[in-house]
A and B are shown apart, each in its own frame.
Chain A
Amino acid sequence: VKKGEMQDEGIVRKKVLLAGLRRSGKTSIQRVVFTGMPAKDTLGLNCACTACTISHPRSSFVGLQLWDIPGHANLDLLGIDLSQLSTLVFVIDAQDDYTRAVTQLLQIIIRAYNANKHVNIEIFVHKVDGLSDEYKLDTLRDIKSRVLDGLSDEEVVQGASQGAVQPQLSYHLTSIYDHSILDAFSQVVQKLARQLPVIQNLLNVFCSNSGIAKAFIFEQNSRLYFATDSTIADASTFEVCVDALDTFDKFSRLYRWEGDTVEKLEGEGGEESSPAQPATASIRLANDLTIAKWQMHQNLILIALIRSDTYDRFKQSIDYNVTFVRDAIVDIVEMERRGMRR
């Protein structure tokens, strides 16, 4: 009984605020990423007229509290304490004229930065579906330069530039119609995970020892990735990995054990031990590439891209190396979970 209580109430959560003008896509992002809503269903979302909605997305590696506020809201009236904020995500509709959005962004950056010098500021240049690659990059460049110009005019920040700290700004091109939103949100969440460098190192070692081209550790529920090795991969590689993750997941639901209940499969699982034989799967592509999956923890999945002939020749030793990654991940997750509770 005590454990359940702690899980619900005692978890320390990092606060993430979604801000942006009306209809910029905040609620859509939150629904698509955390509730799995199909992108086309967001067309019916009403503009949020009520006060801020707070959701508690389940995540096994970072406790998150997401605040989605209506675009026209006044922060003071909502009683949001910016000093508690870990991350500010500001959504700009790139298909629209963004002059007003940039003005509002500048104001909120200054307020958030003055309240907490270590706040992460993430700027989503959003709805870039339907824009050409060139136009996307031009828009990004233009927004960046307007923000920098705006900030350099501000005294608050000028004062700070003589000292050490500057607002930490990161930019992402996003759309809910492809997986770019998952990629961006994953990076946002990773900055809040204390154990990230350890896991990244672990994956680097794993990849070079096992002949793996690219590896991700995904969270099944949200499809966000917890960590990846440090090789650079293009967006389409990420898209295919997410699609493979989905394919494996959906397939595995078609055949089930009598004893499995939906709650048991989808629940957080608490301290429950993982099954004796963690699930594995693979998809082989015609052109010498295999996408392999190993279950790490109830909700964490390792996806790796390997050349098919490497996979065939060294399958046994790769599987063996995976057990070390799994043990380390389980340790870290359990440790994080204990740390999240007070």
Chain B
Amino acid sequence: MRSIIFNNQSTESTSNVQATLSIQSQSLQLLNSLSLNLWDCGGTTSFLSSYLSHQRENVFKGVGVLIYVFDITTPPNAAADELEWFTRCLESLKEFSGQEESLKVFILINKMDLINEQDIPSAFRKRKAEIFQSVDALLSDASNIQTECYMTSIWDQSLYKAWSKIVTKLLPSSSKMSSALTHFARTSNATEVVLFERSTFLVIGQTTLNRDGEEELHEEDPTSEYISISDRNLKLSKFRFEKISQLIKSFKQSCTKINNQFNSMQLSETYYNAVLEPLTVNTYVLVITDKTDIRGCLLLHQHLTQTPNTAPSAIQMNIRLAKPYFERVEDTFIGGDVTPS
């Protein structure tokens, strides 16, 4: 799983990933503000027991975030063991980190693709309940530990969704960046602006505007893959963020075949334009503009004088102009010394 998100590997190639031996740590710099020390702990029992015994302090000291991956297909007889390991990890986490420090625990229930579609909600609910039940006592007196639980599969976009949430939760600047995005979207007359972390291509901020420049999305229709925005004729796929992450990452991989690297992309479809460009040293930005906005503005006389130009070249210009601003926002948060392990 780590190989996909952080090492830019394709899903197909993971069947050759060897079982992780012992602990592999990897340092990552996300958005300047967050230097992530990622420890991928081998799941083989002997390693588990070693870092839960004599290596305990070494592993768990200073940990700010624990990401624990469960396998939904674990047979019932092994599931108790899996829970036991998880409980012991949590115990160690509690023991070696300060009371006042806030800790985040992300529980991913993986391999959901191997479950029948109609059983997914119930299987997820059941496993989640089992997990929380087993650690209930541990967590009840630890108000500094926050937990989140997501279902994932490396074969669809759920993995990206879960990791996006993890990274966004960890980033102190993400809320500030989001309001900067909304401002940028308004001034450049965009329908949607999405911010991606550069190396993982995970979504770390996003804003969608209706024709009046208000942030608003219509109700999701559970029967359709698309959602609509009021006053606009554009439908948006519910899974667009995860799918874009996936698409760009796989194209980046493809570029290595001709010894080149992805830089930017633009599309001009019948009704909208899309521009994906590097923004700051740590981010990419995607800007979507509605081509019919021009028509809409002609109807409103007060806007006539400032008919927005939604062409890709105009978007690129706006992005270039906004760069220094976003760089400042990003820099402001380097100070925050958040270094989860």
Check if A257 sits within 8 Å of B270, measured CB to CB. Answer: yes
Nearest chain A CB to B54's CB is how many angstroms away?
42
* B73 in contact (CB, < 8 A): no
B:236-271 near A, CB below 8 Å: 236-237, 239-240, 243-244, 247-248, 250-251, 254-255, 257-271
Nearest chain B CB to A240's CB is how many angstroms away?
5
Check if B260 sits within 8 Å of A286, measured CB to CB. Answer: yes
Check if B235 sits within 8 Å of A256, measured CB to CB. Answer: yes
- Identify the stretch in B33-41, B74-82, B119-127, B226-234 within 8 Å (CB) of chain A at 4 or more residues: B226-234
Check if B226 sits within 8 Å of A256, measured CB to CB. Answer: yes
- Name the A residues within 8 Å of B267 (CB-CB): 248, 251-252, 279-281
Query: Which one of B235, B254, B266, B270 lies within 8 Å of A282 (CB-CB)?
Result: B266
A:277-304 near B, CB below 8 Å: 277, 279-287, 289
- Name the B residues within 8 Å of A276 (CB-CB): 270
- Name the B residues within 8 Å of A283 (CB-CB): 251, 262-265
- Name the B residues within 8 Å of A258 (CB-CB): 228, 233-235
* B-side interface residues, number (CB < 8 Å): 36
A:199-246 near B, CB below 8 Å: 236-237, 239-240, 243-244
Inter-chain contact total with CB atoms closer than 8 Å: 100
Check if A286 sits within 8 Å of B261, measured CB to CB. Answer: yes
* B219 in contact (CB, < 8 A): no
- Chain A 253-279 against B: per-residue CB contact (8 Å), 1 yes, 0 no? 111111100000000000000011101
Known contacts A244-B251, A254-B240, A256-B226; decide if A281 and B234 are in contact (CB<8 Å): no
Query: Which one of B240, B254, B264 lies within 8 Å of A240 (CB-CB)?
Result: B254
Chain A, interface size category, equals: 20 to 34
Most buried by B among A252, A254, A285: A254
Nearest chain A CB to B53's CB is how many angstroms away?
40
User: Shortest 7 CB-CB distances between A and B: which pairs?
Assistant: A286-B261, A243-B254, A281-B267, A254-B240, A236-B257, A285-B260, A258-B233
Give the interface of B toward A (CB within 8 A): 12, 226, 228, 233-237, 239-240, 243-244, 247-248, 250-251, 254-255, 257-272, 274, 288
**6 cross-chain CB contacts under 8 A:** A236-B257, A239-B257, A240-B255, A240-B257, A258-B228, A285-B262
Give the interface of A toward B (CB within 8 A): 40, 236-237, 239-240, 243-244, 247-248, 250-259, 275-277, 279-287, 289
